[in-house]
Chains A and B, each alone.
Chain A
Amino acid sequence: MKLHFNAIYIIWLREMTRFFRAKSRVIGSLAMPLFFLVILGFGFNASIRFSDIPPEIDYIDFLAPGIIGMALLFDSISSGLTVLMDKQFGFLKEIMVAPVDRFSIVIGKTAGGVTTALIQGILILLISLVIGVKITGVVGFLSAIVFMILISVSFVCLGLIFASKMEDMHGFQLITRLFAFPVFLLSGAFFPLDNLPVWLQYLTYMNPLTYGVDGLRHSLIGITQFSVTLDLLVLVCFSTLMIILSTYLFSGIEVD
């Protein structure tokens, strides 16, 4: 395996160029998480108190890291769509016939997907600050970015895995959404996980996004369910596994 930096760079640059040329995509994918944040945030804030959230923390502060996790999840996984579009439009052939290691192609694609997801994550975080979400400080902000990257890498690669096995763009969107919703609902983005029924709790423990949201929450508002070390460990392992798996499956793509 050899890294071709020129190739990684240009594959990344192409994703960026296309992203910034599609303004509607940026605005469209920001809207959903912001609806959730504003409506749920202010709605629940007014009338519901979760006993597991310390009283000095508002519900909207608790929710904000979860919504960032959600935005990252959906945006990352849908970056597999770019592979399917390349398949459909024939451009994938141009990439696959190039004298470049498949690992470099996956890294370039992943870097592209992670960057776009990260831009959205940071934008949501900034908007949250504007509407009054309180975070711990600059260190927290930076450590949140580390978690954002790990979450994005994991789910961008997962999107590539789906994409390498599928042909149809609509099918891809359907399947990934079907997959992403339970992942997002069971990640503790909306509610604390401590008092869930045991069987549900096990499900949340198997969910990598749970650790991502927990890590974000620790970074931004200082509360955590697991330890940050465990969060990091799980995410690093999971994202590494996803990179390896997506490289393997990507190498098997035959373009016709």
Chain B
Amino acid sequence: MYSIKTDKLTKKYGDLRAVDNISLNVKKDEIFGLLGPNGAGKTTIIKMLATLLKPTSGFAEVCGYNILSDQDAVRKSIGIVFQNPSTDIELTGRENLDFHARIYNMDKDVRQERIDEVLDLVELSDKADIFVKNYSGGMQRRLEIARGLMHYPNVLFLDEPTLGLDAQTRRSVWEYIKRLNKDEKITVVLTTHYMDEADYLCDRIVIIDHGKVIAHDSPANLKNSIGKDIISLQVADGKNFLNTLTAFDFIKGMELHDESLYESLYLSVEDGERMIPRIMDIAHKEGVIVQSVGLRKPTLEDVFLHFTGRTIRDQDTGKKEHFQRMVRERMRGTR
């Protein structure tokens, strides 16, 4: 059962293919990530799925509704949290939610109840009646998430949900996203250029670069597809131990590096956590003294590097976004 299906979705600006033949599917009730560097076309995809932009060609369906022929049905079934702030800072949090509820034509009794419910969900109940311009960045973001949930959407789009937030606030936003995915039974589609965010949150991801899909799977499968875990050992006599270890075929590869006092041994294995005790046992039996052990898992960063030959880079956000942010910052400061 799919919440979203796209087939060869394309958006061209002149000669530039911002989104190039994207075919993907999002399962119902999963957290799905669009991962890629800034300018990869993630936001453009979201905007087309949210009916804000018309695709140049291709097909897309959200909750079974065509994004071109059934715009209103699509709009009703989605909630969206934009990358840039989109609340009215001259209104209070509650007024923003009330605006949303009414423009989505919710009945009065449902409206009041739901406002309190979503405020509670993002822990803004006690801040509901102050002006949004006096909110912190994290509070604004949480309010936007609450607003996106107001009308019981089936799919929630989150465009860079933690961009510009401090580490602690990021964590708490992640927790909200996980919780509402479970509690509200809602399909979440998020874009991010943070590898750790995609890894932590998403059941499945697509990696997008220059408007094209370069990988489409679960983070674990993607990481497994490019290689094994790496165990590093610092031992006194590396060469001997290396010879001993060649006898064990759970070790898929070995490298020895000479480092002043000790030698470092890098072993690539599957299921690294389970293999460490076995290797310790062998070392013990052989009488090899192990100074330290380290385990490194391949990250999505390695996956991206593997598929594109580049590391994901953090570019400046666009001028306009920067301006919007600046203006809002200033408005918050004054008053």
User: Do B103 and A91 touch (CB < 8 A)?
Assistant: no
A32–B304 Cα distance when bound, in Å, is 62
* Contact digits for B99-125, partner A, Cβ 8 Å, 1 yes 0 no: 110111100000000000000000000
Instruction: Check A89 against B53 for contact (C-beta < 8 Å).
Output: no
Q: Is the CB of B103 within 8 A of A11?
A: yes
Assess whether A14 is interfacial by the CB under 8 Å rule. Answer: yes
A6/B327 contact (C-beta < 8 A), A89-B88, A93-B82 known: no
Hey, which chain A residues are within 8 Å of B73, CB to CB? 99
Q: How far is the CA of A86 from the CA of B71 in the complex (A)?
A: 22
Instruction: Give the interface centre of A91, A97, A98 by most chain B CB atoms within 10 Å.
Output: A97
Which residues of B lie under 8 Å from residue A99 when comparing CB positions?
71-73, 75-76, 104-105
- Given A6-B102, A6-B105, A254-B53, do A88 and B88 touch, yes or no (CB 8 Å)? no
Q: Is B91 an interface residue (CB 8 A)?
A: yes
A14 touches B88 (CB 8 A): yes
For residue B270, CB closer than 8 A to chain A, the reply is no
Name the B residues within 8 Å of A96 (CB-CB): 52
Q: Please tell me the size bucket of the interface on A.
A: 20 to 34
The complex places the Cα of A4 from the Cα of B76 at a distance, in Å, of 14
CA A125 to CA B96, docked complex, whole Å? 35
The smallest beta-carbon distance between A17 and chain B, in angstroms, is 7
A94 to B82, CA, bound (A): 9
The digit string for A95-135, where 1 denotes a CB below 8 A from any CB of B, is 11111100000000000000000000000000000000000
> In the complex, are the beta carbons of B104 and A97 less than 8 A apart?
no
B residues in contact with A7, CB < 8 Å: 102-103, 105
- Report B-chain residues with C-beta under 8 Å of the C-beta of A248: none
Closest to B83 in A: A90
Task: Assess whether B85 is in contact with A89, with CB atoms less than 8 Å apart.
Answer: yes
- Contacts known (A21-B90, A89-B327); A94 close to B100, Cβ less than 8 A: yes
Partner of A90 from the list B71, B82, B103, B105 (CB cut-off 8 Å) is B82
Output the least CB separation between A227 and chain B (Å): 42
- Rounded to whole angstroms, the CA-CA distance of A5 and B91 in the bound complex is 21
Cα–Cα, bound, A59→B134 (Å): 50
Are B52 and A97 within 8 A (Cβ)? yes
Q: Does B242 contact A (CB under 8 A)?
A: no
User: Which residues of B from 299 to 332 have beta carbons under 8 Å from A?
Assistant: 320, 323-324, 327-328
Q: A9-B102, A10-B98, A88-B327 are in contact. Are A94 and B90 (CB under 8 A)?
A: no
Nearest-CB residue, chain A, relative to B74: A99
Inter-chain CA distance A6–B98, complex, in Å, is 11
Q: How far is the CA of A187 from the CA of B133 in the complex (A)?
A: 42
A18 touches B (CB below 8 Å): yes
Q: Of the candidates B86, B100, B102, which one forms a contact with A93 in the assembled complex, judged by CB atoms under 8 Å apart? A: B86
Tell me, in angstroms, the Cα distance from A169 to B310 when the chains sit together. Answer: 41
Q: Tell me, yes or no, whether A255 is within 8 Å of chain B by CB.
A: yes
Q: Which of B52, B85, B91, B104 contacts A14 (CB 8 A)?
A: B91
Smallest CB–CB gap between A87 and chain B, Å? Answer: 10
B51 touches A (CB below 8 Å): yes
Q: Is the CB of A93 within 8 A of B328?
A: no
Q: Complex Cα distance A14/B88, Å?
A: 10
CA distance A256 to B85 in the complex (A): 12
A134 CB, nearest partner CB in chain B, Å: 41
Contact A90 B86, beta carbon cutoff 8 Å = yes
The reply on B218 being an interface residue by CB < 8 A is: no
Smallest CB separation, A182 vs chain B (Å): 32
Q: Check B173 for interface membership: any CB of A closer than 8 A.
A: no
Selected from B50, B86, B91, B105, the residue in CB contact (under 8 A) with A4 is B105
Contact B324 A90 (CB under 8 A): yes
A48-79 vs B, CB cutoff 8 Å, 1 = contact: the mask equals 00000000000000000000000000000000
| A1-24 to B contact mask, C-beta < 8 Å, 1/0 | 000101101110010011001000
Cβ of A10 and Cβ of B99 under 8 Å apart? Answer: yes
Interface string of B4-19 (1 = CB under 8 A from A): 0000000000000000
Complex Cα spacing A88 to B326, Å: 11
* Complex CA distance for A88 and B100, rounded to whole angstroms: 19
Of residues 44 through 92 on chain B, the ones whose CB sits less than 8 Å from some CB of chain A are 47, 50-53, 71-73, 75-76, 80, 82, 84-91
Instruction: Specify the chain A residue showing the minimal Cβ separation from B98.
Output: A10
Which residues of chain B have C-beta atoms less than 8 A from A10's C-beta?
98-99, 102-103
Do residues A17 and B95 form an inter-chain contact, with CB atoms below 8 A? yes
Q: How far is the CA of A95 from the CA of B87 in the complex (A)?
A: 10
From B73, B76, B99, name the one whose CB has the most chain A CB atoms within 10 angstroms: B99
**In whole angstroms, what is the CA distance A4 to B52 when docked?**
19
Which of B51, B73, B102, B105 has its CB near the most chain A CB atoms (within 10 A)?
A: B102
Q: List 6 A-B contacts (CB under 8 A).
A: A10-B99, A90-B324, A94-B88, A96-B52, A98-B104, A100-B103
Give chain B's interface residues, CB within 8 Å of chain A.
47, 50-53, 71-73, 75-76, 80, 82, 84-91, 95, 98-100, 102-105, 147, 320, 323-324, 327-328
Given A17-B91, A256-B320; 7 other pairs, CB 8 A cutoff: A10-B103, A14-B88, A18-B91, A89-B324, A90-B84, A94-B88, A255-B52
Q: Which residues of A contact B (CB under 8 A)?
A: 4, 6-7, 9-11, 14, 17-18, 21, 88-91, 93-100, 254-256
